[in-house]
A and B are shown apart, each in its own frame.
Chain A
């Protein structure tokens, strides 16, 4: 393995993070806060380390193999979080480094689980809010995807990196060149973010709620919606605004963020048929409709709630969980157990492949259900050739095996994680909730980590452990696990 190329590229990537740190410092300065120092110290440190790593290794042969690709992609998320946690510590807002790291990893992986309680969030400095939101925004479309779009050097081995970072069982290109693909993906991502920010700000004129949406709120929430992150600048999350317009705008953009960006790109080119005929997209919308109707029904009949309100609440929570965003307009833990169990099930589905959402991804679930069903037919007709078809094309058996392995490992980690957390004296609800919420990059779970709670009460070890689960979930298990396999390190 060529270690120098790894340091060379990581060094350059750190400069990207430094840029966003400086941006946060500027935001701090605009609001006249002292936190800008924390950002500048961190930026100085990361620029220094980045430059040293870059310049010391710039003479190395610029060849990226598969192995280097996996190491770079895994390390960059860890290193970004290690540095990204520093502003929280330096500013004194979160003195414990384990807490700060958890918060940052939760940001980059677009999980949105927080160690801050509602009151602390309301009192948090603007600069730190901005940093929390921007970490999610960077992590949403992907640090590596951004780097491929910016740095020409990543063009050659770019595909290795792209494959290791972009979620989903098969990765589509939008353009023959990886760099152009990355540019287009980030382009529509930025476009959607801007559109949402404008629409959210317009709520002040169209359907003002009890609280105004400031420019700052609009920008931060667009960052965290499009990334399916879920950090909010208010302790009450989206429930801070009781405006149906705001809720529906956010629902709409959460749905887009959970859709394969390749499809959105085609739709923007006017090729709507691609979206209409895409099986994953149809299943995704189908699941949202079925679960929303179900929960609306129970909210109306069990809790005697008003229909329009129940529909909006159930749609918001269903979309927020399935896209793994994690915003809340109500505390679903207070619903009847049956309903939050449904919500818990949704946590495993996740968004579409090639979206910013986490979880297992709809396409995998659909493939497995189809394959399992066909397995019955195969029993009856042992000689029949029954391929699993997706979007009218038969899926390679290799992909099915890969998806099966993914699901099995995912469930195994979930079980293992639940055991680890429960060993620290937490009940089953909380243990399962915390693991499902972090592994699926969702944010809030069930039990003591529900939408109205936070993760501060966990011991440090649990915070490190859950941070690791977030990373596993974001990079879809294999990218990280392959580093732990013996054959990876064998010469």
Chain B
């Protein structure tokens, strides 16, 4: 696929890195020479130092034969204009990143499409959706549904005292009669391991588990996670993410939102009728105690400042809040923040990149999820008639070392993959893969 990315910010850079590992030809355009140099020296892409809103620049970058144009600069207007130009100059598909929910409204969709923009990405919305999803399943730090929820991916951090620590994968599967979930990867000390039966779970492991619906409760039990019903939520920061999250949650839960800026607080109070909007500083312990932080079930820090978010989450953790979620802008901090005990990190850039990445995948792949903190991805493939993977037990398939099959959905039934599982045509297969193996996978399902 010929892909042009306008904007070498974090989303652009991350996408370029992700996509260049596969069979795509990528050109990255940005005004900032330094950023372009960074991305073109770390990934196999062509860098162009120029303004993306230019007929000349776009034509030179090969817009007429471009399959996908992605504009993800910091500026919404630039993104929209660039995408419109790109479409008129011949790009087959255009995606623009926006900062304004109005564009996404159903009634405005036709206008946007008429202009020539096929898809819009609104990272703040993605982030608030992610937060809401996480509050539903508190045991895991990240969840994702495949095959309309028949199979789900859970990322679980093993904390001290979890019953599973010290056991090998074999032990765990021997203990239960039902085979409803399976650990497909372990993230340990900044390395992603695809485990075999003899690998032993350790404290602080981040375990990626594929589970079907009936497996969830026993999975939570063995990993030492109890389900907490979230009733009281405190949100720090009245940013767009904070506002959206509060708006969604306020009907079902008690939501308190703390915002530093007085003007903004008033504005928020006007919109959020069922939320208690507080004007104050999140690092003010007195205020937090006064507002009952100790009784909170979840604490969500989504100010514009990553450091504030990390610190206030740590504070909340110390006051006994069970679930803490911090929004962190800097991708490099993610590992660190997870290490020091914050339950879940939200990064809207990674979420945006993951969403856009979904547009580039081939017909065989129906869903894809890029995992936070590791480079690995989880993809759902549809096995085609006569493809290499079908009609023999998995143990006989020469599957790449850096990838593993997690589960299979046949019609409405989902199974966890075992050595004797046989995949048939039109089954949906969830595969966990490291970036090195992505390009090898397609041929198994074609």
Q: Is A180 an interface residue (CB 8 A)?
A: yes
Cβ of B309 under 8 Å from chain A: no
* Closest A residue by C-beta to B3: A176
Asked if A176 and B45 make an inter-chain contact with CB atoms under 8 angstroms apart, the answer reads: yes
Taking CB as reference atom, which chain A residue is nearest B33? Answer: A396
Q: Is the CB of B41 within 8 A of A159?
A: yes
Q: Which of A155, A160, A173 contacts B46 (CB 8 A)?
A: A173
> Considering the complex, which residues of chain B in the window 1-26 have a beta carbon less than 8 Å from any beta carbon of chain A?
2, 21, 25-26
B44 CB within 8 Å of chain A: yes
In the assembled complex, A276 has its CB within 8 A of some CB on chain B: no
A84 within 8 A of B: no
Partner of A178, one of B21, B27, B33, B44: B44
Do A175 and B44 touch (CB < 8 A)?
no
A155 and B33 contacting across the interface, CB-CB below 8 Å: no
Contact A180:B25 (CB < 8 A) given known A158-B44, A159-B40, A159-B41 = yes
A-contacting residues, B25-62, CB 8 Å: 25-27, 33, 40-41, 44-46
With both beta carbons as reference points, the residue of chain B lying nearest to A399 in the complex is identified as B33
Contact with B along A148-179 (1 / 0, CB 8 A): 00000001101110010000000001011111
In the bound complex, CA of A62 to CA of B26 (Å): 22
How far, in Å, is B37 (CB) from chain A's closest CB?
9
A176→B25 contact, CB < 8 A: yes
Give Cα distance in the complex from A91 to B413, angstroms.
74
Q: Which residue of A lies closest to B16 (CB)?
A: A176
A160 CB contacts on chain B under 8 angstroms: 41
- On chain A, the residues within 8 Å of B25 by CB distance are 175-177, 180
Residues A36-69 near B (CB distance < 8 A): 62
- Measured CB to CB, the nearest residue on chain A to B47 is A173
A156 to B25, CA, bound (A): 13
With a CB–CB cut-off of 8 A, which chain B residues contact A176? 2, 25-27, 44-46
In the assembly, what is the distance between CA of A339 and CA of B26, in Å? 51
A155 to B436, CA, bound (A): 12
Taking residues whose C-beta sits less than 8 angstroms from the other chain, chain A's interface range is 10 to 19
Complexed CA–CA distance, A314 and B321 (Å): 85
Q: How far is the CB of B285 from chain A (nearest CB, A)?
A: 43
Asked whether, in the complex, the Cβ of B44 is within 8 Å of the Cβ of A159, the reply is: yes
What chain B residues lie within 8 Å of A156 (beta carbons)?
A: 21, 44
Q: Are A177 and B33 in contact (CB under 8 A)?
A: no
**CB closest chain-B residue, reference A155:** B44
Binary flags per residue of A111-134, CB closer than 8 Å to B gives 1, else 0: 000000000000000000000000
* Inter-subunit contact A175/B46 (CB<8 Å): yes
Residues of A within 8 A of B21 (CB): 156
Instruction: Name the CB-closest residue of A to B44.
Output: A178
User: Complex: how many Å from CA A179 to CA B45?
Assistant: 11
Chain B contacts of A62 at CB under 8 A? 436
Q: Which residues between 381 and 400 of chain A lie within 8 Å of chain B, taking CB atoms?
A: 396
1/0 per residue B65-80: CB within 8 Å of A? 0000000000000000
Contacts of B2 in A (CB 8 A): 176
- Residues on the A chain within 8 Å of B40, using CB: 159, 173
Cβ proximity bits B121-157 to A, threshold 8 Å, 1 near / 0 not: 0000000000000000000000000000000000000
Complexed CA–CA distance, A440 and B82 (Å): 46
Contact with B along A320-334 (1 / 0, CB 8 A): 000000000000000
Contacts of B46 in A (CB 8 A): 173, 175-176
Quote the shortest CB–CB distance from B63 to chain A (angstroms).
13
State the Cβ distance, B184 to closest chain A Cβ, in Å: 21
Q: Which residue of B lies closest to A157 (CB)?
A: B44
- In the complex, how many angstroms separate the beta carbon of B398 from the nearest chain A beta carbon? 17
Give the nearest-CB partner of A156 in chain B: B44
- List, in ascending order, chain A residues with CB within 8 A of B41's CB: 159-160, 163
Which B311-366 residues have C-beta < 8 A from chain A?
none
User: How many angstroms between the C-alpha atoms of A158 and B45 in the bound complex?
Assistant: 11
Q: Which residues of A contact B26 (CB under 8 A)?
A: 176
CA distance A428 to B40 in the complex (A): 46
List residues 178-204 of chain A with CB under 8 A from any CB of chain B. Answer: 178-180
Tell me, rounded to whole Å, the shortest Cβ–Cβ distance linking B145 to chain A: 33
Q: How far is the CB of A174 from chain B (nearest CB, A)?
A: 9
A62, A176, A177, A396 pick with most chain B CB within 10 angstroms? A176
Q: In the complex, A158→B41 CA distance in Å?
A: 10
CB distance from A381 to the nearest CB of B (A): 25
B315 → chain A, closest Cβ, in Å? Answer: 37
Determine the distance from Cα of A159 to Cα of B44 in the docked complex, in whole angstroms.
7
Which A residues are CB-close (under 8 A) to B45?
A: 176
Across the interface, name the chain B residue whose C-beta is closest to A160: B41
List residues of chain B with CB within 8 A of the CB of A163.
41
Complex-state Cα separation, A160 to B41, whole angstroms: 7
Assembly CA distance A103 to B59 (angstroms) = 47
Q: Identify the closest chain B residue to A271 (Cβ).
A: B60
Separation of A142 and B420 alpha carbons in the complex (Å):
51
Q: List, in ascending order, chain B residues with CB within 8 A of A158's CB.
A: 44
Bound Cα distance A163, B436 (Å): 23
Within 8 A of A (CB), among B157-214: none
Among B2, B21, B33, the most chain A Cβ lie within 10 Å of the Cβ of: B33
Q: Smallest CB–CB gap between B101 and chain A, Å? A: 34
Docked Cα-Cα span, A432 to B422, in Å, equals: 76
Query: How many angstroms from the CA of A176 to the CA of B27 in the assembled complex?
Result: 6
How close is A70's CB to chain B, nearest CB, in angstroms? 14
Minimal Cβ-Cβ distance residue in B for A172: B46
Q: Give Cα A359 to B46, complex, Å.
A: 27
Of the listed residues A177, A179, A180, the one surrounded by the most CB atoms of chain B closer than 10 A to its CB is A177
Q: How far is the CB of B82 from chain A (nearest CB, A)?
A: 18
Interface flags for A329-350 (1: CB within 8 Å of B; 0: not) read 0000000000000000000000
In whole angstroms, what is the CA distance A175 to B20 when docked? 13
The distance from the CB of B435 to the nearest CB of chain A, in whole angstroms, is 10
Within the complex, the shortest CB–CB distance from B376 to chain A, in Å, comes to 16
Closest to B43 in A: A159
Tell me the bound Cα distance from A156 to B44 in angstroms: 7
Fill in one digit per residue for A12-30: 1 if any B CB lies within 8 Å of its CB, else 0.
0000000000000000000
Q: Give Cα A64–Cα B33 distance, bound, in whole angstroms.
A: 24
Central interface residue in B2, B45, B46, B436, by most chain A CB within 10 Å: B46
Contact with A along B375-396 (1 / 0, CB 8 A): 0000000000000000000000
Interfacial chain B residues near A178, Cβ < 8 Å: 44
Q: How far is the CB of A148 from chain B (nearest CB, A)?
A: 10
A158–B33 Cα distance when bound, in Å, is 21
Question: Which A residue's beta carbon lies closest to that of B40?
Answer: A159
Instruction: Provide the bound-state CA to CA distance between A155 and B22, in Å.
Output: 11
Question: A466 CA to B294 CA in the complex, in Å?
Answer: 77
Which residue on chain B has the smallest CB distance to residue A63?
B436
CA distance A178 to B40 in the complex (A): 10
CB neighbors of A among B369-428 (8 A):
none
In the bound assembly, the distance between CA atoms of A163 and B47 in angstroms comes to 14
In whole angstroms, how far apart are the Cα atoms of A304 and B438 in the complex? Answer: 72
Taken residue by residue from 266 to 281, chain A's Cβ proximity to chain B (1 for < 8 Å, 0 otherwise) reads as 0000000000000000
Chain B residues with Cβ below 8 Å from A155 are 44
In the complex formed, the residue of B with least CB distance to A174 is B46
Most buried by A among B25, B33, B44: B44
**A interface vs B, CB < 8 Å?**
62, 155-156, 158-160, 163, 173, 175-180, 396
7 contacts between A and B (CB under 8 A): A62-B436, A156-B21, A158-B44, A173-B40, A175-B25, A176-B26, A177-B25
Please give 12 more A-B residue pairs, beta carbons under 8 A apart, in addition to A173-B46, A179-B44.
Answer: A62-B436, A158-B44, A159-B40, A159-B41, A175-B25, A175-B46, A176-B25, A176-B26, A176-B44, A176-B45, A177-B44, A180-B25
* Residues of B that sit less than 8 Å from A by CB: 2, 21, 25-27, 33, 40-41, 44-46, 436
A-B CB proximity, top 7 nearest: A176-B46, A176-B25, A173-B46, A176-B26, A178-B44, A176-B27, A176-B45
